[in-house]
Amino acid sequence: MLRLFVRLVRRPLLPAVRLWRRNIQLRVVAATLLMSLAVVLALGFVVIAQVSKGLLDAKEEAAQSQAAGGFAVAQEKANTPSAVDGPDATDNKVGRDASTWMNSLVKQLASGGQTAFEVVALGAGPDAGGAPGGPFVSGVKGARASGNVDPTASVPAALRRDVNHATGTFKTFSQIRYTAGSGDKAPEPALVVGKRLTDINGDPYDLYYLFPLTQEEESLNLIKVTIATAGVFVVVLLGAIAWLVVRQVVTPVRMAAGIAERLSAGRLQERMKVTGEDDIARLGEAFNKMAQNLQLKIQQLEDLSRMQRRFVSDVSHELRTPLTTVRMAADVIHDARVDFDPVTARSAELLAGQLDRFESLLADLLEISRFDAGAAALEAEPIDLRDVVRRVIDGAEPLAEHKGTRIRVLGDTQPVIAEADSRRVERVLRNLVVNAVEHGEGRDVVVRLASAGGAVAVAVRDYGVGLKPGEATRVFNRFWRADPARARTTGGTGLGLSIAVEDARLHGGWLQAWGEPGGGSQFRLTLPRTADEPLRGSPIPLEPEDSRSNRARIAAEAAGSKASRKASEGPGRGDRSPIPARSAMAGAMPVPADPTALPGSGARVVARPADPDQGTDQAAAERSAAEQSAAAQEDGAGGR
């Protein structure tokens, strides 16, 4: 379910991911936009912070100056004596009413603000926290305020406590809250400045100036909107600039990529359009020169190859007539060799043998010239590869008896049907079997057949000298020998494997080699079951199951399994039967493509052991083990 969910989520995103991975212009523009946005955001935060700090500092400085003047005026009015005549005059109050005086003072001080500030006067006493360390109680008696301001709600309790407990001027940020009679006016941010003063009777009271920050807040909001709008325009403008700049660079690159694709498709006349004298123009000129030189070289190579193919074809055809005449004369001399002296008779036999080899070489050269000229035709029809293998073995039996080699077939109990050219497949297998017998040094040669999925395969395994490191990649080259000093007892021309690999490619199949020094070699022919069907794997592994590395791995796995069983066995559990090891051939047809089953030689070579004596003993042991394994598989598979 989790995998299904991930697949459903990824499916709509695949086009976007593919576009992101393939479009460099989109990636550059997106990166430019992201980096520009980050820079604009960082710059905006810095500017807003600086502007906000500047506005608040200016407001605090102006507020403190305004409040200091107000505090001085209020204290001056309280200290100014005033004589009152009449019967109500006393020695202590001198005819003054503190409540009326405070109301008049608040109105007078607030009238100079013209909505720039509000004034609040709060009485101070023991209930208001006037005594040091005393409890603070809200709702101070004698509160006065201008502009319908709620005095007790607008002045923070912490500021009132500071003003009551110490002398001097104190300030803080708060909100101005209004009473119900102000028409539900919303609270406003404000700067509150307060100080302890005395009234006309010498009693203490607290006077506060409330400076609204509405104008500063509006200015800051305007600056934020301006910076945001400018930032958006800057980001969009930078994105457009990046798109235009990258487009000037990417467009020639895309043009070059398209022309390179067309060049690789064989359209060698394609060229880039060059304008200007900048770096892109020089790149286009260099690209066009490269394409022109490449076209010229390819044309020269094609002409040379055509001449070579024509030369080989013409020479091969022209040699047939004199070769026929020489063959007739040689046959006459060979038939009359009994009348010659021994030296002349031996010369007649050598002449006949070399003429046979010359005819084979001429036929191979003609076949190679057909492949080179692209004139080789495939006559595919459903065939049973078992019949082809039997004909090949019957033809190789005399050579095998001469070498003391036994040829065995495995996997021929079931039909192995494929659409192929019987003549070409037989030629390939004949080359493989004859080479295995010639290089097998008298040991057994095993031919294995298998089919699975859409592929069939024939593997020819020998236990002779094998292949040295690097030789398996050159084994299909023309006229190549593993040992140049080794004599060709079968009269080979050196073109057999080259023709064989061309036959395999003509079928859409693979011809691959594996070998290890002293451990023999294996050649595997893999063909599609149906003509023109692409191959995805081979039913036979390229490295045989009886190779040194496979045997060492199986032995290590068996040793590890045995050790783990001994460690896990407890008392009374020793009679448990061990689990049989999995056969190396199980799952020989991999679900994905066989890593070694790749187009080309697909060769793998295992190095020779360091100790020669040990290698000789090991090779003998491997031969014995390989023969026993092959015999067991032959008996089980019904091979002959």
Give the start-to-end residue ranges of the domains of the chain.
Answer: 1-80+99-126+142-264, 271-375, 377-558
Would you say residue 174 has pLDDT above 70? Answer: yes
List Cα–Cα distances, 302 to 294, 309, 368, 506, in angstroms.
12, 10, 17, 21
Which of 21-35, 307-321, 493-507 has maximum average pLDDT?
Answer: 21-35
Would you say residue 626 has pLDDT above 70? Answer: no
**Region 363-383: what's the mean pLDDT?**
71
Determine if residue 176 is left, alpha or beta; phi over 0 gives left, psi from -120 to 50 gives alpha, anything else beta.
Answer: beta
Would you say residue 279 has pLDDT above 60? Answer: yes
Asked if 413 and 637 count as a contact pair (C-beta separation under 8 A), the reply is: yes
Asked if 535 and 454 count as a contact pair (C-beta separation under 8 A), the reply is: yes
Using CB atoms within 10 Å of the CB of residue 520, give its burial: 0 to 12 exposed, 13 to 18 middle, 19+ buried.
buried
**Region 527-533: what's the mean pLDDT?**
85
Give one DSSP letter per residue of 518-530, joined into a string: TS-EEEEEEEESS
Question: What is the token pair recorded at 445?
Answer: 């040669």
CATH class of the domain whose range is 377-558: alpha beta
DSSP letter, residue 474: T
Question: What is the token pair recorded at 244?
Answer: 């235009």
**Region 532-536: what's the mean pLDDT?**
82
Helix (H, G, I), strand (E, B) or coil at 24: helix
Asked if 369 and 358 count as a contact pair (C-beta separation under 8 A), the reply is: no
Give one DSSP letter per residue of 535-588, joined into a string: P---SS-SS-TTSHHHHHHHHHHHHHHHHHHHHH--TT-TTPPPPPPPPTTTT-
pLDDT at residue 543, as a whole number: 85
Kindly report the average pLDDT of the chain as a whole number.
76
Question: What is the token pair recorded at 35?
Answer: 């980096």
**Region 99-106: what's the mean pLDDT?**
85
pLDDT at residue 609, as a whole number: 39
Closest CA to 455 of 490, 507, 407: 507
Residue 460 phi, psi dihedral angles, 5° rounding: -115, 115
Confidence grade of residue 144 (pLDDT, cut at 50, 70, 90): confident
Confidence grade of residue 141 (pLDDT, cut at 50, 70, 90): low
Which amino acid makes up residue 61? E
- List the helix and strand counts (H, then E) for the chain: 13, 13
pLDDT at residue 587, as a whole number: 35
Helix (H, G, I), strand (E, B) or coil at 205: strand
**Region 334-358: what's the mean pLDDT?**
83
pLDDT at residue 38, as a whole number: 92
**Region 608-618: what's the mean pLDDT?**
40
Would you say residue 343 has pLDDT above 70? Answer: yes
Which amino acid makes up residue 103? N
pLDDT at residue 167, as a whole number: 83
pLDDT at residue 42, as a whole number: 93
Higher pLDDT, 561 or 116: 116
Counting every residue written for the chain, the total comes to: 640
**Region 204-214: what's the mean pLDDT?**
89
Asked if 191 and 173 count as a contact pair (C-beta separation under 8 A), the reply is: yes
Determine if residue 305 is left, alpha or beta; phi over 0 gives left, psi from -120 to 50 gives alpha, anything else beta.
Answer: alpha
Which fold does the domain 1-80+99-126+142-264 belong to in CATH? Beta-Lactamase (3.30.450)
Would you say residue 575 has pLDDT above 60? Answer: no
Asked if 582 and 530 count as a contact pair (C-beta separation under 8 A), the reply is: no
Question: What is the token pair recorded at 280?
Answer: 């892109």
**Whole-number percent of the chain with pLDDT over 90:** 10
CA distance 591 to 451: 14
pTM above 0.85, yes or no: no
**Region 46-64: what's the mean pLDDT?**
90
Which fold does the domain 271-375 belong to in CATH? Helix Hairpins (1.10.287)
Q: What is the pLDDT of residues 11-29, one digit of tens each?
A: 888 888 888 887 888 888 8
- Angle at Cα 433 formed by Cα 428 and Cα 437, nearest 5°? 150
**Region 382-398: what's the mean pLDDT?**
89
Would you say residue 430 has pLDDT above 60? Answer: yes
Which amino acid makes up residue 335? D
pLDDT at residue 459, as a whole number: 92
Residue 474 phi, psi dihedral angles, 5° rounding: -110, 5
Would you say residue 540 has pLDDT above 80? Answer: yes
Confidence grade of residue 600 (pLDDT, cut at 50, 70, 90): very low
pLDDT at residue 264, as a whole number: 81
CA distance 640 to 638: 7
Exposure letters 93-120 (e unless 16+ CB within 10 A, then b): eeebebeebbeebbeebbeebeeebbbb
**Region 617-624: what's the mean pLDDT?**
42
Confidence grade of residue 91 (pLDDT, cut at 50, 70, 90): very low
CA distance 586 to 69: 102
Would you say residue 612 has pLDDT above 70? Answer: no
pLDDT at residue 422, as a whole number: 86
**Region 418-429: what's the mean pLDDT?**
87
Question: What is the token pair recorded at 344?
Answer: 């002349």
Confidence grade of residue 81 (pLDDT, cut at 50, 70, 90): low
CA distance 50 to 67: 25
CA distance 507 to 131: 110
Fold equal for 1-80+99-126+142-264 and 271-375: no
Asked if 522 and 540 count as a contact pair (C-beta separation under 8 A), the reply is: no
pLDDT at residue 616, as a whole number: 39
Question: What is the token pair recorded at 598?
Answer: 């790749």
Of the listed ranges 27-41, 272-286, 389-403, the least confidently predicted one is 272-286
Would you say residue 149 has pLDDT above 90? Answer: no
pLDDT at residue 636, as a whole number: 36
Question: What is the token pair recorded at 154?
Answer: 């607008």
Would you say residue 481 has pLDDT above 50? Answer: yes
CA distance 637 to 200: 126
**Region 604-616: what's the mean pLDDT?**
39
Q: How far is CA 462 from the centre of its chain?
A: 42
Of the listed ranges 160-174, 295-309, 582-596, the least confidently predicted one is 582-596
Would you say residue 376 has pLDDT above 70? Answer: no
